[in-house]
Structure 1
Amino acid sequence: MSAFDKTQSAGYLANHLARLFAQGLHRRIRPLGLAPAQFMTLLELWAEDGLTQKQLLERLDVEQATMANTLARMERDGLVVRTPHPQDARAQQVWLTDAARALQAPATDAAQAQNRQALAGLSAAEQGQFLDLMRRVLATMRAGDGGRA
């Protein structure tokens, strides 16, 4: 029986890479009062304010409980407000506050700095190829069962 070589495992490497990215991002956005899960949510709301919790779940590929906890913290911290959806009594829309809008530039600058640092060892062409390959793998995972067996 041959030993499992984690350096040849896409799952292991992706997980490790994601942890390191999250740690670096957290260090950079913590002074803004943000955590990575809040930043991901804000990215979606900065792109389209007023999304429902269900829409956020679908866009971020997270569990219901995780999103509920993240939104509760964001509401507590004055980053979002939730209002009843005008056409669906069961749904709530999530809206950015002025405080959250004010964080867009510094938070995205911090994320871009983290990306630049992480990709610094690659040429511009390699960076483009790396990002393209990651997008393709993500699309494959989403089209399949999302990795759930």
Structure 2
Amino acid sequence: MDLDVLATPGHLISLAARGFARLSEARLKPLGFGVGQLPVLVALQDGRASTQRDLARFAKIEQPPMAQMLARMERDGLIQRAPDPTDGRSSRITLTEVAEARLPDAVAALLRGNHEALRDFTDEEAGLLIALLTRLIANLDRLVSVEASPGTPISEKGD
């Protein structure tokens, strides 16, 4: 079967992701946030992470880009750093009062955008889409970790 590469799930999901990113960026910018900062903001608010290493792991990005993002967020008054009392080499990162005050509006704007994007979907369809995307992401994470493993034979990489 000859499949049009522009009709593949990977391409279509990429287009949807870019559309969501543009919409989210437009709605977050007036609040002083960027769409890439959202995982950091949520992790700090919920207490899921408080160090640069934990935030990078949570957001699934490498340490250098996380360090750059945190530097910009600190410059913009969204986060603050304090020495980690248990590890003198590390800093604890927390949201500033400004970020905490704006975050509920940002989350509401993003949820509203998701709701609007799924306007013609039934609740069941929206739930199924979320479940399928969650499984797809888990599969991709597994594939990427296998591909990144040094010394993994090609036959184990899914080729």
Q: Verify the 8 A CA contact 2:5 2:11 in the aligned structure 1.
A: no
Structure 1 segments (4+ residues) deviating >3 Å: 146-149
CA contact (8 A) 1:45 1:51 kept: yes
For structure 2, list consecutive stretches of 5 or more residues without a partner in the other structure: 149-159
Pair 1:80–1:135, CA change in 2 (3 A): same
Amino acid at match of 2:92: Q
The number of equivalent residue pairs is 147
Query: What amino acid does structure 2 have at the position aligned with 1:88?
Result: D
Q: Are residue 25 (structure 1) and residue 27 (structure 2) matched?
A: no
Distance 2:35 2:44 in 1: 14
> Which residue identity is paired with 2:102?
L
Q: CA deviation at 1:23?
A: 0.3
Q: Which is further off, 14-23 or 136-145?
A: 136-145
- The aligned counterpart of 1:34 is 33
2:105 equivalent to 1:127: no
Root-mean-square deviation (CA), in Å?
A: 1.9
Amino-acid identity (%): 33
Give the structure-2-normalised TM-score: 0.83
Task: Pick 1 or 2: higher relative contact order, CA cutoff 8 A, min separation 6.
Answer: 1
Query: 1:136-147 to 2 correspondence within 5 Å?
Result: 136-146=135-145
User: Which residue of 2 is the match for residue 118 of structure 1?
Assistant: 117
**Superposed displacement of residue 50, structure 1:** 5.8
C-alpha deviation, 1:141, in angstroms: 2.3
TM-score by length of 1: 0.88
Higher-Rg structure is 2
Show CA shifts across 1:52-80 (max 9, x none).
Answer: 11111111111222211111111011110
Residues 90-145 of structure 1 deviation map (CA, whole Å, 9 limit, x = unaligned): 32221111111101210001100110111112111000000011111122222342
Partner Cα distance (2:145, 2:23) in 1: 26
Hey, what's the Cα distance between the residues in 2 that align with 1:27 and 1:117? 14
